[in-house]
Amino acid sequence: MSGIPSRRRVTYAQLEQLWEFLNRNRHIATGFNKTAQAREFSKRMWEEITQTLNSHGDGAIKDWKGWCKYWNDYKSKLKKMTAALRVSQQRTGGGPSQVREMNEIEKKFLNLLGEDFGQGVPGARVEPFEEV
């Protein structure tokens, strides 16, 4: 990681700061950076927020790639949680949910990504491979 010491835990304050940054820069939050110019802009923005996130004395310290990877991993975690909650809510038989509810910061990030995040494409159907 280019000489930056790494601590493992991201603090709640860092998550709040990351949410504020991504809320102001939703195009970075969703990751639609297809052109070289868009990727370069995204890199500069991640470098900028990295300084802010690393300035929290008791939190994780990462380079811009580390924070970008953290965000991608966090989105993946949210997608899995959303799917598990949806399956749990659609179960028959009643009773309490077997999946923990999302906390406030997770709900904020999910709201940022949109209510249909992790839902899949409605009505999409994948045909099975033909046997040869």
Number of structural domains (the chain) is 1
Q: Where are the alpha helices (DSSP H) in the chain?
A: 12-24, 26-30, 36-54, 64-90, 104-113
pTM metric for this prediction: 0.77
- Within a domain: residue 86? yes
Q: Is 3 a member of any domain?
A: no
**Banded pLDDT at 105 (limits 50, 70, 90):** very high
The answer on pLDDT for 4 being more than 80 is no
> Would you say residue 87 lies in a domain?
yes
pLDDT band at 1 (very low <50, low <70, confident <90, very high): very low
As a whole number of angstroms, the distance between CA 128 and CA 108 comes to: 37
What is the per-residue pLDDT across 68-95, written as a single tens digit (0 to 9) for each? Answer: 999 999 999 999 988 888 887 777 676 6
71 assigned to some structural domain? yes
**Residue 131 within any structural domain of the chain:** no
The answer to whether residue 82 sits within a structural domain is yes
Domain with 85, as residue range(s), is 12-91+99-113
The DSSP 8-state label assigned to residue 116 in this structure reads: T
Mean pLDDT score, 105-119: 81
